[in-house]
């Protein structure tokens, strides 16, 4: 039996577009001589649909879309993912389901058992877990069909009490097939391969694993669909960060011999992969930076394409964060669609303006200069009776930042641009930013990228030629909101800061653990206090493109009004 994997980029709620993509792949599979074509989890409606699932009309449109696809499943089997109604009044009203279509009929239905409700996942909110298990019989083969998380209950600390494959193996299946929507982070490919390989070794069956690709607001799906034979050898891996299609011969995946010594290490989560002692090397690892670059470009591109936007506007400060953001946006949207605005103040150095100008000349994207001196002075004049001659403080600094935010949003509103925010994860973690000023934006491009990774991204962008001026990379970072200001005036050095932040945010290590590793106790308490005291700022921030396994936003839910390490 020839089985095709269709790795596609779907648009949540855009049933017409999703159905057209699926039908195109069915036709391609027919031309390639495939007998069965497999799609990804909830491909009919897009993943994650979240509260759209609470609307009856949304579910009705999903079933109508299945009917359209069913008409194309005449001489070929089609495995698609979609929500399914639960006929039992007890429990949630929906299942996360896989449908087997053939001969223009629904030949079988499988329900997801393990419903992730952690990090960016919230499936327990909407779906009822499967309470019975069965294989799908198709052309003399028994298909053990699972959905994404169903195969992830492995490793040293399993999260669930039930393992679906333990139920399905009793039916003596011929092959394992998994429909997935597995988001990207910079260790997920290692985890994913270990999980799929472990299944093939444990159950001595081949597995075909079809993942989705594309960005859905803050979540990026990287593709990388997998096929392993029954001896644990990787037989195929589809492209990362782009759509792909391949056909595999099931007969060539069975009765195989292991190719050399087998590594049976199973990683359930990215955090289990192991960072090692040098976190900075891990964060700036060449492979990770290349992937992060691709994920951010895809995140920007899909956000604009799926929302119907065309042009971005970015505040260009001559600093590294805005430089990297502009360079990424130019790749994602085209140079003509990225408008840079330089907004020098009293405290901007001459090289900040010249560096920003050189960046746009290198990228050939349009830019304008709007000096904020007169606007800033007008604010101070009007506020003078209230400020009563008090010393210069953060209030005056933030007026400059908010002036820039106002200007950017004014231009964005006038011409229909979307403002891309340039704040990085180190700044967001510590609250080093101005609400309604430099924290304004429609999409946070670098919000899940530590400052040390921003520098590594700049080097990656310049890997073939100088795009980001070298001076932007080498000069000391500064907000330039007061004379001779440096980031290090307010924050620890980024090498030490990012190390402690990673251990606290990603690895969830507490102050005692950090101090025991040799970090200064006063410094640890200071950094952790900054993180927890600034949750109210992050709560008002725009969506962030997720690239780590613990990003700010929907995947990290911390109380605002609380007293823990603050």
Report the binding-site residues for L-glutamine: 118, 182
- Residue 316 CB contacts under 8 Å (≥ 6 apart), including other chains: 322, 323, 326, 340, 341, 342, 356, 359, 360, 367
HEC-encoded secondary structure of 79-117: EEEEEEECCCCCCCCEEEEEEEEECCEEEEEEECCCCCC
Enter the tokens of residue 124: 């327990």
Q: Is 75 helix (H, G, I), strand (E, B) or coil?
A: coil
CB contact at 8 A, 437 and 402: yes
Q: Where are the beta strands (DSSP E) in 336-422?
A: 338-342, 367-369, 418-421
CB-neighbour burial class of residue 31 (10 A; exposed 0-12, middle 13-18, buried 19+):
exposed
According to DSSP, the β-strands at 418-421 and 443-444 are parallel
Q: Is 30 a known active-site residue?
A: no
Question: Active site residue: 35, 41, 149, 218, which one?
Answer: 41
Binding residues: 118, 182, 315-322, 398, 422, 427, 537
Question: Active site residue: 43, 45, 148, 542, which one?
Answer: 148
Q: Is 148 a known active-site residue?
A: yes
Residue with token string 């001969």: 103
Q: Give every strand in the sheet of 312-315, ordered side by side.
A: 367-369, 338-342, 312-315, 418-421, 443-444
Enter the tokens of residue 429: 């973690």
Enter the tokens of residue 277: 């002692």
Binding residues for deamido-NAD(+): 398, 427, 537
Which DSSP category does 32 fall into? T
Q: Count each helix (H run) and each strand (E run) in the chain, helices first.
A: 17, 19
Q: Give every strand in the sheet of 2-7, ordered side by side.
A: 105-111, 94-102, 77-85, 36-38, 2-7, 244-249
Which DSSP category does 78 fall into? E
CA dist 323 and 352 (Å) reads 11
What is the full DSSP assignment across 218-275? TEEEEB--EEE-TTS-EEEEPPBSS-EEEEEEGGGGSS----SSPP----SSGGGS--
- Sign, CA torsion 255/260/265/268: negative
Q: Is 433 helix (H, G, I), strand (E, B) or coil?
A: coil
**Distance set, CA 290 to CA 241, 268, 301, 456, 539 (Å):** 11, 23, 17, 10, 29
Alpha carbon of residue 405 to chain centroid = 26
Alpha carbon of residue 184 to chain centroid = 5
CA dist 396 and 345 (Å) reads 12
Binding residues for ATP: 315-322, 422
Question: Active site residue: 21, 70, 112, 425, which one?
Answer: 112
Cis peptide before 48 (omega within 30 of 0): yes
Enter the tokens of residue 320: 């590294």
Which DSSP category does 508 fall into? -
Q: Is 470 a known active-site residue?
A: no
Residue with token string 């019989």: 137
CA dist 429 and 444 (Å) reads 13
Which DSSP category does 253 fall into? G
Active site residues: 41, 112, 148
């Amino acid at each position: 039996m020839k089985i095709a994997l269709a790795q596609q980029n779907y648009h949540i709620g855009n049933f017409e577009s999703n159905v057209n993509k699926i039908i195109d792949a069915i036709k391609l599979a027919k031309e390639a001589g495939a007998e069965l074509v497999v799609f990804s989890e909830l491909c009919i409606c897009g993943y994650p649909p979240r509260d759209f699932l609470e609307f009856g009309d949304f579910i009705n449109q999903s079933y109508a879309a299945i009917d359209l696809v069913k008409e194309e499943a005449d001489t070929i089997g089609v495995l698609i993912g979609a929500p399914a109604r639960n006929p039992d009044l007890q429990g949630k009203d929906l299942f996360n389901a896989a449908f087997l279509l053939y001969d223009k009929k629904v030949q079988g239905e499988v329900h997801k058992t393990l419903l992730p409700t952690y990090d960016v996942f919230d499936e327990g909110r909407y779906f009822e877990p499967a309470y019975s298990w069965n294989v799908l019989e198709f052309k003399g083969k028994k298909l053990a069909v699972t959905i994404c998380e169903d195969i992830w209950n492995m490793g040293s600390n399993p999260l669930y009490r039930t393992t679906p494959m333990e139920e399905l193996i009793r039916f003596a299946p011929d092959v394992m097939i998994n429909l997935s929507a597995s988001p990207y982070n910079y260790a997920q490919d290692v985890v994913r391969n270990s999980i799929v390989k472990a299944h093939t070794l444990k159950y001595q069956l081949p597995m075909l694993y079809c993942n989705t690709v594309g960005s859905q607001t803050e979540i990026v799906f990287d593709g990388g669909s997998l096929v392993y034979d029954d001896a644990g050898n990787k037989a195929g891996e589809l492209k990362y960060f782009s759509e792909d299609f391949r056909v595999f011969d099931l007969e060539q995946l069975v009765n195989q011999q292991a190719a050399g010594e087998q590594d049976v290490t199973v990683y359930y989560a990215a955090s289990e992969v192991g960072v090692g002692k040098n976190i900075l090397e891990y964060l700036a690892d060449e492979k990770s930076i290349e992937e992060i670059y691709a994920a951010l470009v895809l995140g920007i591109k899909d956000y604009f394409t799926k929302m119907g936007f065309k042009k971005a506007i970015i505040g260009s400060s001559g600093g590294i964060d805005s430089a990297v953001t502009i360079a990424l946006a130019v790749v994602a949207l085209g140079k003509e669609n990225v408008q840079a605005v330089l907004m020098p103040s009293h405290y901007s150095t001459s090289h900040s303006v010249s560096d920003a100008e050189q960046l746009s000349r290198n990228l050939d994207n349009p830019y304008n200069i709007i000096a904020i001196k007169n606007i800033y002075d007008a604010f101070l004049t009007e506020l003078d009776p209230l400020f009563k001659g008090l010393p210069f403080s953060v209030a005056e600094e933030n007026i400059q930042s908010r002036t820039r935010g106002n200007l950017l949003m004014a231009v964005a509103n006038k011409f229909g641009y979307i403002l891309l925010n340039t704040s990085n994860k180190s700044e967001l973690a510590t609250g080093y930013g101005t609400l309604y000023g430099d924290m304004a934006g429609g999409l946070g491009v670098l919000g899940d990228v530590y400052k040390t990774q921003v520098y590594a991204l700049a080097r990656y962008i310049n890997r073939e030629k100088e795009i980001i001026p070298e001076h932007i990379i080498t000069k000391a970072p500064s907000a330039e909101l007061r004379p001779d200001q440096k980031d290090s005036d307010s924050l620890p050095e980024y090498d030490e800061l990012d190390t402690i932040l990673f251990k606290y945010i990603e690895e969830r290590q507490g102050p005692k653990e950090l101090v025991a590793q040799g970090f200064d106790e006063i410094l640890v308490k200071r950094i952790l206090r900054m993180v927890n005291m600034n949750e109210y700022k992050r709560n008002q921030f725009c969506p962030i493109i997720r690239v780590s396994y613990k990003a700010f936003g929907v995947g990290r839910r911390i109380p605002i009004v609380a007293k823990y390490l603050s």
